[in-house]
Structure 1
Amino acid sequence: MKTAPGSWSFTRWTTVDQLEALEVRHPEFYARLFLQGAHLSHFAPAGAGNWLWLSDTARFMTGRAIRGGIPVCWPWFGVPGKNPDPVRQTVLSDTPHGFARTAVWNLEDVRESAQDVEISLSLDASQDFAELWGGRASALITFRFAATALQVALTSTNLGRTPLAFSQALHTYLPTPDITRTQITGLDRCNYIDTLDEWSRKRQDTALCFDGEVDRIYDTGGADIGLNTPATAYRLCSSGSRSAVVWNPGPEKSRHLSDFPDTAWQTMLCVETANAFDNIYVLNSGQSHTLSVMISRLEEHKDPS
């Protein structure tokens, strides 16, 4: 049921360095959600570790994106110049991944029950961001936490009078004990763009394994994705998504990334629920679109090694 501040049973305000956050301490799980960026940094069922990877050197500073968790890339994904023309024409900044991941979102709702907690945040991307973007839109993001799954749903609404094109991603960082013994399933037979090979187009014929830097945009059509690590297995079920981005910086790039230890590439990867490059969305005036992902972990799995 919906609850108001002061009557929450499991949710509390907290501050981490310079940033305000909501902390959920439920008997079945723990979560931490920052208002800046609508950024989820922690989700852990009772007795389990964080399902999300968070950098040991992450900084929680005003105007600085957090390295790890689930950054929200919106209303454009990646480098603006690599986006198709309809998206690129609205972008007035060279900042990668849009402005939502460093904007301060507004708390809309907290709903709590004995089984789950649901938190919604909103962002009005109109006049306040006119120097960065030529569009007019709102974003509503809802996080649902339960003992067996985490769900994130991002709804975009065109508030302008003309069609609006955008790209987006839920930039999910996930942990692994060993990236070289980790594989992704569900992408076989999918076409992808290899950004490390001059943005050439290729096809995935087997499960995806890692032996160095990977940066690929897959055309998935919304297929479910499996992630198998030596420790556990994840399942990512998406809706409203036509792309998936898989990223690991490898040893060379890691040395140049901010808030990222040199060896951290060995214990993380990103599997991003997205609509990117060929799969941008165009909304007519007043139309909405929801991009969502449900992440669950399997009790039994096989070590991919």
Structure 2
Amino acid sequence: MPESSKPPLSLSPGQWSFIRWNTIGQLEALEIHHPLFEATLFLQGAHLTRFIPKSDENWLWMSPTARFEPGRAIRGGIPICWPWFGDPARNAPEVRKRIKTQGPHGLGRTAVWKLEDVCESAHEVEISLSLDANQDFDNVWHGHALALLTFNFSVRGCQLALTTTNLGSEPLAFSQALHTYLPTSDIKGTRILGLGFAHYIDTLKNWEYCTQDGPVYFDGETDRIYENGDPLTVVTPATSRKLTAIGSDSTVVWNPGPKKALKLSDFPDTAWQTMLCVETANAASDYRVLNSGQSHTLGVLIGRG
């Protein structure tokens, strides 16, 4: 919510005080330069790559070898996985039956989203982007849904809210994730608090069900889907970040480790030591079903721990 007593103003290009269009690589982006923070948001993928409060560093991890090309997923920041998450074959049958490709993480990740609204104030900036998943995507997905993604930036932190509305006549099953990359100076000195005693699927152990014992630590490749939507705190040697989710009962924790890092595109071989992903999700058994006209919002607030 706005911290000022007056609501932010909805402005059109040319009237914006803190936002400018920019071309980065081959992609269009909105650059936010507010007295209290900076941010960079790409139209392709509705992809946030930068959030920097005043006198701070980027709260998001970005690969130094990321490429900004049409149709290519950007490595780092917060990719939007929608309307399916991960490997299509690993989704529930109701989700899987709509997917017509073997590509992971959904069509929203590389589609070009539409700018819907910009609101600015002395304390915050709010930007909304939309994606109409209609017959234009029939080659990869069967359905009709509207995704509206609102970003709110303030000195308190960064909030994303992704609202899906089923525009079709039949029930719509989907999975999704806000695939947040976070930086760390040392992955082995990093831990996640708030997942103790949570059940999780360990995808590296043939999707075996396990129970978390205490904080999550990292020692090599990690790829888990936790049955938990509670607030989490990510503690690194230099920072502490709190992630508060809405509309989520699953959290994905991922780090590629040294061997998988060698196989990833746009990812330096040693980069696994300086990043981790904590993803607010509707994944595995937490997939959602919307009747015609119904909506669901998945969101996360990233703040200081």
SS at structure 1 position matched to 2:150: strand
How far does residue 39 in structure 1 lie from its aligned partner after superposition? 0.1
Match of 1:30 in 2: 38
2:285 corresponds to: 278
- Deviation, 1:135, is 1.2
* CA-CA distance at 1:225 after TM superposition: 0.7
Give the C-alpha shift of residue 286 in structure 1: 0.3
Equivalent residue number for residue 191 of structure 1: 199
What's the TM-score, normalizing by structure 1? 0.97
Match of 1:16 among 12, 20, 24: 24
Equivalent residue for 1:127? Answer: 135
SS in 2 for 1:252: helix
State the distance in 1 between where 2:191 and 2:252 align.
14
Distance in 1 of aligned mates of 2:304 and 2:187: 18
Structure 1 runs of 4+ aligned residues shifted over 3 Å read none
CA distance in 1, matches of 2:194, 2:220: 20
What is the aligned partner in structure 2 of residue 301 from structure 1? Answer: none
Do residues 74 (structure 1) and 82 (structure 2) align? yes
Deviation at 1:85, TM superposition (A): 0.2
- In the alignment, what sits opposite 2:257? 250
Query: Partners in 2 of 1:134 and 1:108 — Cα distance?
Result: 24
2:123 to 96, 115, 118: 115
- Distance in 2 separating the partners of 1:191 and 1:292: 21
Match of 2:3 in 1: none
Deviation at 1:128, TM superposition (A): 1.0
Q: Distance in 2 between matches of 1:242 and 1:128?
A: 31
Q: 1:176: Cα distance to partner?
A: 0.3
Give the deviation of 1:270 after TM superposition. 0.1
SS state of the match for residue 265, structure 1?
helix
Q: 214, 217, 226: which one pairs with 1:209?
A: 217
**1:94 equivalenced with 2:102 (yes/no):** yes
Q: Which residue of 2 aligns with 1:290?
A: 297
Distance 2:248 2:143 in 1: 21
Residues in 2 aligned to 1:60 and 1:292: alpha-carbon distance in whole angstroms? 25
- Per the alignment, residue 114 of structure 2 pairs with 106
Q: Does 1:239 align with 2:246?
A: yes
Give the partner amino acid of 2:268.
P
1:187-235 deviation digits (Å, cap 9, x = unpaired) = 0111000000000000002100011100000000x20011000001000
With structure 2 as the length reference, what TM-score do the two structures score? 0.97
Q: Which amino acid aligns with 1:111?
A: C
Q: Name the aligned partner's letter for residue 237 of structure 2.
A: P
Q: Whole-Å Cα distance in 2 between the matches of residues 147 and 23 of structure 1?
A: 17
User: How many Å apart are 1:297 and its aligned residue?
Assistant: 1.5
